[in-house]
A and B are shown apart, each in its own frame.
Chain A
Amino acid sequence: MSFSLPKPMILMAAVAIAAGALVMVRPSPRTPDLTVWTFAVEHARMYRDRIDGLPSLVEQYEAATGRRVKVQLMSANALDVRLLSLIHSQSHDVPDLVEIEIGSIGKYFRAPLRGVGLLPLNDLLREGGLDGQIVPWRLAPWTKDGVIFGVPHDVHPVGLAYRKDLFDEAGIDPARAKTWEEFQAMGVRFQRFWRERGIERRWAMELPGASVDALRMMLQQRRIHLLGPDNSVHLDEAGVAKTVVFYARLVAGEGKIGEDASAGEVGFAKDLARGELCSLLMPDWRVGYLREYAPELKGKLAMMPLPRFEAEDAPTATWGGTMMGIVKNGSDPNRAWDLLRFLQFSPQALKARRQTSDILPPLKMAWDNSAYHRPDAFFGGQKIEELYVELAGQIPPSYSSPFAVLASAHLSAILNKAVREVEAGRIEGLEEKVKDWLAEAAGRLRGQIRFGEFPS
């Protein structure tokens, strides 16, 4: 009677033992004293890349303090799932500093205040004298019931970048468009110009037909927020319906000037470079992607403030945003705060930021630096950072909420219905219909918030 393992199981056992041995014996990397999680390449680069062979920001900090720092880059989805799981399980094996994206922070704010898992920073900010220097509206998204849980990394004002070469060829100057309506008319003319010359696939602007990022920015320009800081619902506020209908007519029907960009975070760069989409909403963080993934665009671009709907609207909005916060269960909050201040606000950090990225710091006093007032060859010599500084002073407020995702989902569903109506040519009375849909969705959203709010 044989007593040998079946071959497949021998194979499994052998590989498992060999791999297990490797897992055991491989040197685990030296445990750092401080760990930083980020989801943004550009941020990671600013912290850990050497510039001209000089020590990186992290290396400078390590040299000065003798503490080892590790910067871990991971995708935003992965970061959220992991961090929330760590917070919920009250683990002490946590990163010290974390960067959280503005669209995600609501997930952390669902728990009652003491369960948020991040360290309140109000006192630290006040002691450091930082609270007065940070652009005021940029603390709001990271605040729950008056408690500040994160320090903003950015301002992220939005301009409108366009293919100046192609618009010039068509004899159109988009910078003269003061309103979105004027811009739409120019876009239609621009497309007609190129269609007549046999170029079918050339659209005036990148505008997503289904997602509501761009629509949300237009609403923000008009200072309309789907959700207020106290989770009050403003989906049915005056002006929303009008904006939705206008937007639907930008992406469908006869006045269509916008098309979806290629999927992914950097798809837009290639679309712009190929001249398929010829202008885009351009927050400062997108500039770096353009420089890196579409270097051939050098000298072909220009930027302008956003057109408005009405004179009192803001000429800009904000898109995206990141905070850096301290995990409550981290090993040493004081050390973490020390590193946070160094990475965000030290002169070395501000210098590294200027050298590695186009992202404007949230400190007003830093904007005077001459680096933010230089001509930029990539934009044909235009001083785009100066434009961003100018826009940054005029950003409208924005808030965050655990229910922002739901609010966006409602808006997205309504936008889609409106787009279908425009495509079918049923524009007459559309605004009234949209109003009804919004009112119904607002009621539903209020119910969802009542159900979802965690009693504090």
Chain B
Amino acid sequence: MSGSGGWTWRHRAAPYLFLAPSAALFATFLAYPLVRSAVLSFYKSAGPDHEVFVGMANYAFLLRDRYFWWAVANTLLFTVGFVALELPLALGLALLLNHRRVGLKKFFRLAFFSTYLVGQVFVAVIFALLLGGRQGLVNRLLMDGGVIGEPVGFLTDPRWSMVSMWIAALWLMSGYGMIYLLAALQGVDQRLYEAAAVDGASGWGRLVHVTLPGIRHVLWFLVLVGAIGGLQLFELPYVLFGGSGPNSAGLTVVMYLFITGFEVGDLGYASAIGWALVAMIGVLAALYLRSTGLLREERR
């Protein structure tokens, strides 16, 4: 773009002006805290006014802190299970709503998506009542239906904690995935289906050979979003169990960070936990970029 006349310098300066407010906020509220968090991770602290330099001690302890690894295991288990359950569910919903013989599409789209508008805290409050209690709604329905004889301790039995978290999270998130997949499905080239029909492909064949490849970018996107969200899980179990849950079965990495930094008051160790989370997400992102080949496309 070559300028002529009066607007050249303005044209030159404009992008900087447009970016200036963001850059200022970025530097103050993102870059600075980030650096501070990095520095803090080498300190032991009891609030901002009691800090002692400890070198690598926080990281060294992190490596053998069973509580931390327990939180990591919980978080990973939640994430893997959540993504593995959410995708098929969301895809199933999207396929159903995309089916030409299903009526009232707009209404259903709204119905399924409506759950996403309920924030994690509110979902947790609702599900604490639905799942909690020997006479909670879910237990009552299951007992009346003869599925179980004794009430299940969804919130009190550590073996059920993860299931409870999955149930609440799936209810919250499936509609979100569905909306994206629905948009993607409508973008798949119809001629491909026609060609497949000519080749005599079955419904399953069409799904595997036309639909899935056609929406694979969105599927990968949802895997990434789901995984990152899963690794950052906090509010849902924290409010659902009123803490870390029975036998800490609901303890997640971010919850451990929160408890360490803001309940125990050790901002230093909390920072180290935060950087461990950064590493986890970094590994995930690297895997993602490799498996989707996005880097290669970018270079091309």
Contact = CB atoms under 8 A, between A and B. Distances in A.
Q: Do chains A and B touch in the complex (CB under 8 A)?
A: yes
Interface of A: 77, 80-81, 84-85, 87-90, 107, 110-112, 115, 200-201, 208-211, 260-264, 267, 270-271, 274, 276, 402, 406, 409, 412-413, 415-416, 444, 447-448, 451-452, 454-455
21 contacts: A77-B242, A84-B263, A88-B48, A88-B49, A107-B264, A110-B46, A115-B46, A115-B49, A115-B50, A209-B156, A211-B246, A262-B132, A262-B133, A263-B128, A263-B132, A263-B155, A264-B133, A274-B135, A451-B61, A452-B264, A454-B52
B158 A416 contact: yes
B214 interface: no
B143 to A, nearest CB: 9
Interface residues of B, number: 38
A451 B57 contact: yes
Contact of B132 (A85, A267, A412, A454): A267
Contacts, number: 109
Contacts of A270: 133, 135
A406 to B, nearest CB: 7
A209 B153 contact: yes
B266 interface: yes
A406 B67 contact: yes
A110 B48 CA distance: 13
A261 B265 CA distance: 32
Interface string B50-94: 101000010001001111000000000000000000000000000
A81 B262 contact: yes
A211 B241 CA distance: 12
Top 10 A-B pairs, shortest CB-CB distance: A88-B47, A263-B132, A210-B246, A262-B133, A111-B46, A260-B156, A263-B155, A210-B247, A412-B247, A454-B46
Contacts of B249: 210
Interface in B225-277: 242-243, 246-249, 262-266
Contact of B263 (A81, A444, A451): A81
Contacts of A274: 135
A118 to B, nearest CB: 13
Contacts of B266: 110, 452
B216 interface: no
B157 interface: yes
Nearest to B49: A90
Given A88-B265, A262-B136, A412-B248, A111 B57 contact: no
Contacts of B134: 201, 260-262, 267, 271, 276
B133 to A, nearest CB: 4
Nearest to A416: B247
Contacts of A85: 262
Nearest to A88: B47
A447 B64 CA distance: 10
A87 B65 CA distance: 27
Contacts of A271: 134
A334 B150 CA distance: 56
Nearest to A263: B132
B44 A267 contact: no
Nearest to A267: B133
A274 B250 CA distance: 29
Contacts of B3: none
A260 B262 CA distance: 30
Interface string B138-176: 000000000001110101111000000000000000000
Nearest to B240: A263
A107 B263 CA distance: 6
B133 A454 contact: no
